[in-house]
Structure 1
Amino acid sequence: MNHPPYVSTVDAYVRELRAADHLLLSLAAELAAPEGTFGCTHLVRGERPRVVLSFATTSEETARRLAAKGYEVTAGAPDEVGRAVVYPGAAELTGTVTVAELRSRSAISRVVVLGAPGEPPPEQAVVTRDHVRPQWQDGALVLTLMPAVGGVLVPFEVPDPTPCCADH
């Protein structure tokens, strides 16, 4: 699945992925992003490390509205490997679903399992933890899963990661 034709990047000077996710979801809801919108996070390294957002929509209206709200908005995506937070079908990926349901209900076009060749079987259960963040790879939205207790798969990215050095 390809991005819609209008892509813009929003730099809200966010440094943490979790805060970027929250902002992206809030903006998409507030702007009533049109059906088919993709909202992604992108890590920017260099002298000013941060997380920027990208929106791919069917019209330029979203970018205009974000700029009107005072955000720094530029045309195009910062890179080709955005981590999708908002995408068609994302809201349908809750609880436990099969690999086949995951693909048929959303814009995710491919599923991979860490350390395993090929795709898992269509009937394989996936416990979503209500946090499914696929990434763009070679123009396709790909979800990376990992094996979990009970013979199920779970998304590689956990919803509430423990901060580094939390126990120190």
Structure 2
Amino acid sequence: MTRYVLTVDAGLRDLRAADHLLRTCAAELHLPQGVFGCTHLVRGDRPRVAVSLAVEEETVAAGLRERLVARGYEVAEGAPDPVGRAVLYPGVDALRGTMTVAEVLSVSAIDRVTVLGGAAGPPGPGTPLVTRDHVRPQWQDGELVLTAMPAAGGALVPFEVPAPTPCCADH
């Protein structure tokens, strides 16, 4: 399936602000079903976080571009890289509470779940996943992959925590 991708560079410095921008765009611009909204770390002399929006129709992308530019955003064609961290994707709103791996895969656009350090292979379909209502898979070789880590009672949790402690928070 061909996707038309736009990158928005709002000069953001952190993932939380980029997540907020994507959710704001979804609400205020009435993004279509099936949109993918991702964050991308941009390195170089001006490190920042850019966001990309991918839609299925070229005309929708053109209209979206116009609305974003009208709001003062710098917009470019294409994604900054192929490994975006997905914030908006089909099924994200259904990923709440504890679900099995099979349920996560069946209700969302996530293609695969991997376990960090999981030498035993992929988790079984009945493995519980405690979503913490914060599921951020990443694109890897054209697949949307959720990296999880072991938790209590044989369950898994997404690797990314909803509210990370900032570096050096204790001083």
Q: Normalising TM by the smaller chain, what interval?
A: over 0.9
SS in 1 for 2:153: coil
- For residues 11 and 62 of structure 1, the distance between their equivalents in structure 2, rounded to whole angstroms, comes to 14
101-110 vs 58-67, which moves further: 58-67
Distance 2:101 2:76 in 1: 36
Cα-to-partner distance string for 1:29-80 (whole Å, 9 max, x where unaligned):
1111100000000000111000000000122222221111110000000000
Q: 1:41 aligns to what?
A: 39
TM superposition score normalised by structure 1: 0.96
Which residue among 9, 12, 15 is the counterpart of 1:14? 12
Partner of 1:146: 149
State TM-score, norm by structure 2. 0.94
3-state DSSP class of the match of 1:46?
coil
Q: Pick from 74, 96, 102: which aligns with 1:100?
A: 102
1:4-153 superposed matches below 5 A: 5-58=3-56, 59-60=60-61, 61-117=63-119, 118-153=121-156
Shift of 1:121: 0.3
Runs (4 or more) in structure 1 with deviation over 2 Å come to: none
User: Aligned equivalents of 1:5 and 1:18: distance in 2?
Assistant: 25
The whole-number CA distance in structure 2 between the counterparts of 1:44 and 1:37 is: 22
Shift of 1:116: 1.0
Unmatched segments (≥5 aa) in structure 1:
none
How big is the alpha-carbon RMSD for the aligned residues of Structure 1 and Structure 2?
Answer: 1.0
Query: In the TM superposition, what whole-angstrom CA distance separates every residue of 1:136-155 from its partner, at most 9, and x where no partner exists?
Result: 00000000000012221000
* Secondary structure of the structure 1 residue equivalent to 2:75: strand
- Of all paired residues, the percent bearing the same amino acid is 67
Which structure dedicates a bigger proportion of its chain to helix?
Answer: 2
